């Protein structure tokens, strides 16, 4: 079975659960702080993380669009679906557009998701997606400023011990750390693709 077919199976298997999660997540989302794209600038030092393969070491000074998604590698449905949507959007960009874009998967579970595990997980969906494992202070700061809701939930009798409840957004930022747009969880790559094209650096 090739990778494309496997990704399709992942999406199909996750769609029902993801849709149910999307319905039930409204309550969690109401408690999450909502970032205002017009007023939010994230200190770029909060993104000073190095990926396991060295491709990412922080924001660069040249014009660049960063698409960040927060999740965790043990996520059963929403994260795989969202990363598949991100991969679907990337596949519709040309080489020049992709060169202006850095997609990031940032773990909400750095205790279990080290840099290599997170990067390998992200790259499964598309080789361009960089997986990052922040230290707790970075994660807390990014979550507060961007409006990322997450909560560790104990699971009794499970080998994984706990899960992470979280909201699901793609955060589009420029090289200065300005939050340009938040794209909510979607079961189609189109809304994300349109937002990416809208915010790619202009010549």
- Ligand-binding annotation for 185, yes or no, is no
- Ligand-binding annotation for 199, yes or no, is no
Residue 201: partners with Cβ closer than 8 Å, 6 or more residues away: 63, 64, 65, 100, 174
- Ligand-binding annotation for 75, yes or no, is yes
State the binding site: 75, 79, 166
State the binding site for Cu cation: 75, 79, 166
């Amino acid at each position: 079975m090739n990778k494309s077919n496997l990704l399709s199976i992942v999406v199909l298997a996750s769609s029902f659960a993801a849709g149910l999660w999307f319905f039930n997540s409204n309550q969690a989302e109401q408690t999450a702080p909502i970032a205002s794209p017009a007023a939010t600038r994230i200190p770029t030092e909060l993104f000073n993380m190095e990926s396991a393969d060295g491709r990412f070491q922080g924001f660069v000074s040249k014009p660049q669009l960063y698409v960040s998604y927060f999740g965790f590698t043990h996520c059963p449905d929403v994260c795989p679906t969202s990363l598949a949507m991100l991969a679907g959007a990337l596949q519709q960009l040309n080489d020049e557009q992709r060169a202006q874009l850095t997609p990031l998967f940032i773990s909400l579970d750095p205790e279990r998701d080290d840099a290599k595990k997170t990067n390998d997980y992200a790259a499964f969906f598309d080789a361009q997606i960089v997986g990052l494992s922040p230290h707790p202070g970075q994660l807390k700061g990014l979550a507060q400023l961007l409006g990322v809701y997450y909560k560790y939930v104990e699971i009794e009798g499970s080998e994984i011990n706990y899960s992470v409840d979280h909201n699901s957004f793609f955060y589009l930022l420029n090289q200065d750390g300005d939050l340009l747009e938040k794209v909510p969880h979607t079961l189609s790559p189109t809304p994300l693709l349109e937002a990416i094209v809208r915010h790619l650096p202009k010549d």
